[in-house]
Amino acid sequence: MIKVAVILTGVLLLAAYLVLLERKLLGRFQARIGPNRAGIFGLLQPVSDGIKLLTKEDVIPQGAHRRIFLFAPAVVAATALLTFAVVPMGPDLHLGGRKIPMVVTDMNVGLLYVFAMASLSVYGVVLGGWASDSKYAMLGSIRGAAQMISYELALGLSIVPVVMLAGSLSLVDIVDAQAGRPFILVQPLAFVIFFLSAMAESKRIPFDLPEAEAELGSGYHTEYSGMRFGMFFLGEYVQMQVLGALTAVFFLGGWRGPFLPAPLWLLVKIVLVVTAMIWIRATLPRFRYDQLMGLGWKFLIPAALINIVITGFVMVGI
């Protein structure tokens, strides 16, 4: 129970501060300071953001499909949060003779669970956009759906070599299998594919076509306000964390590392990955739609498939 509470709180806090981190970093990239009024270095900024969002008016547009409109944001947030149930935070703890695994649940199909959650999050986007009864939102959701399902393919296929090496779908086992060396060393191509498609999955720039402020005015969440918008927002940042955590688990050896305690290592790795993503956001322009899909279908998927075959042949020893 405590474990659950700790993980949940940690994730939420981290999400809140990732926002701050991003704003700060973006500021720096753009030679400005970023938020610095609330608290020292703007440390209370997330809190004030939260309060603001909670007290904003919850507008439901006229033609909206009410029920779906209300619940769609929760889908995004929930799926992102639930993914953390299978991310191992560290080695088993032994307290008073009891073994306490440092993970909410060690599913033997953990990887499939992760993908299931990723797929489900599409529903939040699609339903939210559709229920808004707005052209921009609709377009955003269509794009989102197409993009996410395309990249999910590459995402799934890029992980297959990792599964092959670890011989298991459990995230704990995958981390254990990297005791010797992180998989990034043996599977650099898989890492690249995974990272790219994961970024597309979480709709980050340069893959943020579903929300593309410039053309679609925020895309699928155009019509959302208040905490519902906040939930989309929250979901997005939790997804960044998920992405970081998964990258860490699959390729960077998870919580493994010298000197520091295990959860801290994981945290470091997550922040590292997220920082990289922010960096990319600050650097690259947005893709055009056909370029985006072309990258996924014409490059990432074939590359992932070929990578699987090569890995397989190496493994069976030909």
Partner 1 sequence: MVPVNHTYALSSWTPAVFSFLAFIFAVFLMLAVLMILTGFLGEKRVNENKLRPYESGIIPTGSVPLRYPVPFFLVAVFFLIFDVEGAFIFSWAVAVEALGVKAMVQMTFFIFVLLMGLVYIWFKGGLALKEGKDKRAERR
Contacts of 199 (CB under 8 A, 6+ apart): 207, 243, 277, 280
- Candidates 45, 125, 136, 265; binder of partner 1 (CB under 8 A) is 136
Closest C-alpha to 139, from 61, 217, 60, 227? 217
**Residue 316 sits in the site that holds partner 1 (CB under 8 A):** yes
State the sign of the Cα–Cα–Cα–Cα dihedral 112, 115, 121, 122.
Answer: negative
Position among 23, 45, 140, 150 found at the interface with partner 1 (CB under 8 A): 150
Using CB under 8 A, pick the residue from 152, 201, 211, 236 that binds partner 1. 152
Judge contact between 246 and 272, C-beta under 8 A.
no
To partner 1, the closest distance from the beta carbon of 178 in angstroms equals: 16
CB of 34: closest distance to partner 1 in angstroms?
Answer: 26
Nearer to partner 1, 206 or 294 (CB): 294
Rounded distance between C-alpha atoms, residue 82 and residue 242, angstroms? 10
Q: Which of 279, 275, 257 is nearest to 266 (CA)?
A: 257
The CA distance from 318 to 315, in Å, is 8
Collapsing DSSP states into helix, strand and coil, what is residue 132?
A: coil
Distance CA 122, CA 126 (A): 6
82 part of the interface to partner 1, by CB under 8 A: yes
Contacts of residue 95, defined as CB under 8 A and 6 or more positions apart, other chains included, come to: none
- Angle CA 318–175–246, to nearest 5: 100
* 293 contributes a contact to partner 1 by CB under 8 A: yes
17 or 297: whose CB is closer to partner 1?
297
For position 246 contacting partner 1 by CB under 8 A, the verdict is no
Shortest reach from residue 236's CB to partner 1, in Å: 15
Nearer to partner 1, 142 or 268 (CB): 142
DSSP notation for 53-76? HHHS-----TT--HHHHHHHHHHH
| Residue range at the interface with partner 1 (CB under 8 A); choices 89-97, 253-261, 274-282, 299-307 | 299-307
Task: Tell the smallest beta-carbon distance from residue 134 to partner 1 (Å).
Answer: 4
Q: Which of residues 186-245 bind partner 1 (CB under 8 A)?
A: 217, 222-223, 226-228, 230-231
CB of 49 to partner 1, least distance (A): 13
Q: Which is nearer to partner 1, 21 or 234 (by Cβ)? A: 234
Query: Counting contacts by CB under 8 A, is residue 47 touching partner 1?
Result: no
Alpha-carbon dihedral angle through residues 251, 256, 262, 265, given to the nearest 10 degrees: -50
Q: How far is the CB of 61 from partner 1 (least distance, A)?
A: 5
Contact (Cβ atoms closer than 8 angstroms) between residue 133 and residue 117? no
Interface positions, 96-125, toward partner 1 (CB under 8 A) = 101, 103-109, 111-112
CB of 130 to partner 1, least distance (A): 9
- State yes or no: residue 164 binds partner 1 (CB under 8 A): yes
Q: How many residues bind partner 1 (CB under 8 A)?
A: 85
